[in-house]
Structure 1
Amino acid sequence: MISVENKKVINNFLSLSILQALNYVLPLITLPYLIQVLGVDKFGLVTFSASLALYFNVIADYGYKLTAPRDIAQNRNCLDTINEIVSVVLVSKLILLVFGFIVYFIIVFSVESFWIESKIYMLSFLVVVSQSMIPVWFFQGMEDMKYVTVINVITKAIFLILVFLFIKSEGDVYLLPLFTAVGFILTSLFCFYKMKVKYKYIFIKPTLTGLKNSFTNGFHIFVGNASTSLYTNTNIFLLGVLTTTSVVGYYSVAEKIVSAIAGLFIPLNQALYPYLSKKYIFDNKSFSPIIYKLSSFMLIIAFLFFLIFYFFKMDLLNVISGGGDELTALIISILSFRILSSPFSNLFSNVLIIMNGKNEYLNVMKLTVVINTVITFPLIYVFDAVGLAVGLIIVLWLHTLLLAFYIKKRGLNYETAV
């Protein structure tokens, strides 16, 4: 008999899995069509503009993707506290978005190559605004993700139809970020409606102290997210600066294919996060055994995914991109090793945060940025996209090993878990 608690985790996992599948599979469906219609150069332009806008997505998200679900999960039975948490998060995000837009606007209109394509860059920021306001963190903390999943299925289907109906040539490239933003806006409106109707959410004007505490408590995660952006997003941005948008386009095709497989573990880690947060506080003795079992399970599944993907990657590339050029094939082969590290980097990050390892988490992120700067930047300069792929894999593996070291140092006991 499945307990109510485990049933919530399973339902949450299934909902998040569908959500994650949509986020990864949809680009793979539209990818062949967009490359054919827009060309690799224009597709690379959209990817490059998105990489710039993503810096500000990190600012708007701050640390709320992890702190908000944790706080909501731990105060689920107190409606007033939840209303206060939600209101503080929303106001904080608006403040960060306003600040981010001012900086973004100055950057775009200060660089000639950017303001020439200013329509694309402005619409890319609209994507950031609309995406950051989706309260996924609320439903994740309440372990009730089915509503977000349903509306995402609908809005993603609308996006798909709009792409095939209206994007017909290179001149329609601006429609891609516009349609993406529209989908996020519709999702946000539905989510807020559900929060109001089902959970009786009422906006409570945050106090200055509440906002200050919110920024303070999430600062370590924000620094971690910013560090992650520095060794992922910056790499793509630098690739575009040092090479061409076409090279960025080829790399993006390979990266999207691998990310679709590597991202399969993200829903599991997201679904488990509220569950593990409660376990650590209310049933601490079972925490280490659960992490050990999860790690063992993920290792086996990740290795199976890696083998299947590695042997069938060319078939997948041919289906998605309509042909396997040598550069993209080589990048995919290198990036495929990301599948083996992906589940553990997410799991160990969550565990370290749950165990209140703020300083250790920041140390990992700082070290990762330094390692990335020393290894990846020179490789991009010498070997372009291939260098980026090699550097990224090295950095991701070292990042995961550092996390494992610190959670063990923090007190996670694998010996007693066996």
Structure 2
Amino acid sequence: MVNTRLRSNIFALYLVQGLNYVVSFVTFPFLIVQLGGEGFGAMNFAFACIQYGVLLTDFGFNLSAVRDVAQVRDDPAAAARIFWRVTLAKVLLMLVSSLVLLVLTFSLESWRAHADVFLWTQLYIVSSVLFPIWYFQGFEKLQLASGLMVFARALTLGFLLLWVSGPQDVVLAVILQATPQILAGVLWWFTGWGVARPAWVAVQFGELKDALRASWPFFLSAISTSLYTTSTTVLLGMFSVPLQVGLFAAASKLVYIAQGLIGPFVQATYPRIAQYAVNDKAAALKLIRKAFFLQGGVGLAMTLALAMMLPLFTPLSVSVFGESAGISKAFLALSHSQEIMYWFAPVILLGALSYVFGQQTLLVFGLERYFSRVLVAAGLLNVGLMCVLVPNSVNAGVRAAQSVLLVEAFIVLAFWWRARQVTREIKHGIEQGAM
């Protein structure tokens, strides 16, 4: 079932993910120390806000286009047409989102106060177009795309450590963190490493509209997801002080880093399950079942491990680095986020299961509309909970984490209920066909 190609993809992705985490564990405490709570909070507030531009530019193509490419990857002409159709659509969306964000930067007081930071974070929008990671994923060659990213991140890491020395360097920190994906994209366009650049195909305007129309449910899903991920940080920044934003960002970053360990398996299996869903439904169900046990087991283990390790952050940092060490301040900041992380930890398990029931089951079998409806309801639920729980709360970060946990639980239950029906119908159809 999981053949040599898929196993090598998964292994390479985890190897690259490990290297990525080495870089993250260096930069994360370093930036907390150098930028301070206020600077770190302002930077993460800008990152959270600019994600709306990235979401509009991506427009759900990271799911719809991956599925489409995976199903035609043996036909170079069809794959090339999808590539250029999606790329040109993303360029148009990039121009629109950049213009909107530019207007908002100078219109909203909370954004205008950090206008220079917000302007430079638009580099992330450019990078989302320049590096077509969705195309790599459709061909099941994500390890090569990730390899380019790690190479680019390692190249810029030294400059980050050398040049960022205080809160005044927030803009520089933003630029250096956006540079790796841009550099990786430039390298790919000039070399074609990993996946050959497709031949140019002239695309009609009607095809761009068709691509946007087909990806609309996926875009709606992505926007709705942002209402309980990035929007949580944005709402927290509106309702609370930057310190609470920084504490929440520190906790959520650690949890999402842990959850990211499941990402390579999802990225590797999603295009394969999508391909099986067309040609071999029985094989698709077997791979989904395997994903359930592997992702669920890893998610549960990481949730328990994180919860048990939390009390060790402060004494470990002090005993190893000393009370006056700068690096100890980073871990002490994490210790102040312990209560937030206790509420956040189960999100790792819930996220692993939502991938199985949602992306790896509902989407591959064409239930993107139900998928998007669930996420719309979840996003609205999170906004409502944030508006009720966070304002005037002295523990705003904790309330935000509680809101995210409730929303994630709702998503898993809704996805599981429909996925169970779908798999039963498919099994029944397979049995009827075998009779």
Equivalent residue runs for 1:207-286 within 5 Å: 207-286=204-283
**1:13–1:112 distance in 2 versus 1, CA, 3 Å:** same
Which among 121, 145, 149 is matched to residue 148 of structure 1?
145
Q: Over residues 22-44 of structure 1, what are the superposed CA-to-partner deviations in whole Å (9 max), with x where a residue is unaligned?
A: 55553332122222211110010
Secondary structure of 1:338's counterpart equals: helix
Which among 343, 366, 377 is matched to residue 356 of structure 1?
366
Write the distance in 1 (CA, Å) between the matches of 2:335 and 2:9. 40
Which among 391, 414, 417 is matched to residue 402 of structure 1?
414
Aligned to 1:379: 389
Aligned to 1:172: 169
Letter in 1 for 2:95: V
Aligned to 2:343: 334
Aligned to 2:70: 73
Verify the 8 A CA contact 2:124 2:178 in the aligned structure 1.
yes
Write the distance in 1 (CA, Å) between the matches of 2:22 and 2:57. 25
- Structure 1 residue 414: Cα displacement: 9.7
**1:339–1:184 distance in 2 versus 1, CA, 3 Å:** same
Letter in 1 for 2:265: L
Write the distance in 2 (CA, Å) between the matches of 1:325 and 1:302. 21
Write the distance in 1 (CA, Å) between the matches of 2:233 and 2:61. 25
Letter in 2 for 1:235: T
Structure 2: which 5+ runs fail to align? 318-326, 431-435
- Structure 1 residue 196: Cα displacement: 7.8
- Structure 1 residue 305: Cα displacement: 1.9
**1:310–1:81 distance in 2 versus 1, CA, 3 Å:** same
Aligned to 1:121: 118
Verify the 8 A CA contact 2:313 2:334 in the aligned structure 1.
no
- Structure 1 residue 197: Cα displacement: 9.0
Write the distance in 2 (CA, Å) between the matches of 1:331 and 1:83. 46
Q: Over residues 325-344 of structure 1, what are the superposed CA-to-partner deviations in whole Å (9 max), with x where a residue is unaligned?
A: 66411111111111211111
Which among 107, 110, 120 is matched to residue 107 of structure 2?
110
- Structure 1 residue 124: Cα displacement: 0.7
Output the aligned Cα RMSD: 2.2
- Structure 1 residue 89: Cα displacement: 1.0
Secondary structure of 2:192's counterpart equals: helix
- Structure 1 residue 411: Cα displacement: 4.1
Q: TM-score, normalised by structure 2?
A: 0.89
- Structure 1 residue 125: Cα displacement: 1.1
Q: Does 1:392 align with 2:401?
A: no
Which among 93, 96, 102 is matched to residue 96 of structure 1?
93
Number of residues of Structure 1 aligned to a counterpart in Structure 2: 414
Verify the 8 A CA contact 1:131 1:181 in the aligned structure 2.
no
Verify the 8 A CA contact 2:17 2:264 in the aligned structure 1.
yes
Letter in 1 for 2:411: H
Aligned to 1:294: 291
- Structure 1 residue 363: Cα displacement: 1.8
Letter in 2 for 1:364: V
Verify the 8 A CA contact 1:87 1:204 in the aligned structure 2.
yes
Write the distance in 1 (CA, Å) between the matches of 2:54 and 2:198. 25
Letter in 1 for 2:196: Y
Aligned to 2:131: 134
Verify the 8 A CA contact 1:302 1:340 in the aligned structure 2.
yes
- Comparing 98-107 with 299-308, which one deviates more in the overlay? 299-308
**1:56–1:197 distance in 2 versus 1, CA, 3 Å:** closer
Percent of paired sites with the same residue? 23
**1:25–1:372 distance in 2 versus 1, CA, 3 Å:** farther
Verify the 8 A CA contact 1:292 1:414 in the aligned structure 2.
no
- Structure 1 residue 324: Cα displacement: 5.6
Letter in 2 for 1:367: A
Q: Over residues 199-243 of structure 1, what are the superposed CA-to-partner deviations in whole Å (9 max), with x where a residue is unaligned?
A: 252222211121111001100000000000112111110101111
Write the distance in 1 (CA, Å) between the matches of 2:340 and 2:356. 26
**1:23–1:342 distance in 2 versus 1, CA, 3 Å:** farther
Aligned to 2:380: 370
Q: Over residues 317-358 of structure 1, what are the superposed CA-to-partner deviations in whole Å (9 max), with x where a residue is unaligned?
A: 755723266641111111111121111112222221111112
Verify the 8 A CA contact 2:37 2:243 in the aligned structure 1.
yes
Letter in 2 for 1:387: R
Q: Over residues 12-60 of structure 1, what are the superposed CA-to-partner deviations in whole Å (9 max), with x where a residue is unaligned?
A: 2233334444555533321222222111100100000111100111101
- Comparing 13-22 with 236-245, which one deviates more in the overlay? 13-22
- Comparing 174-183 with 296-305, which one deviates more in the overlay? 296-305
Verify the 8 A CA contact 1:235 1:377 in the aligned structure 2.
no
Letter in 2 for 1:332: M
Aligned to 1:345: 354
Verify the 8 A CA contact 2:35 2:167 in the aligned structure 1.
yes
- Comparing 5-14 with 327-336, which one deviates more in the overlay? 5-14
Q: TM-score, normalised by structure 1?
A: 0.93
**1:225–1:200 distance in 2 versus 1, CA, 3 Å:** closer
- Structure 1 residue 128: Cα displacement: 2.4
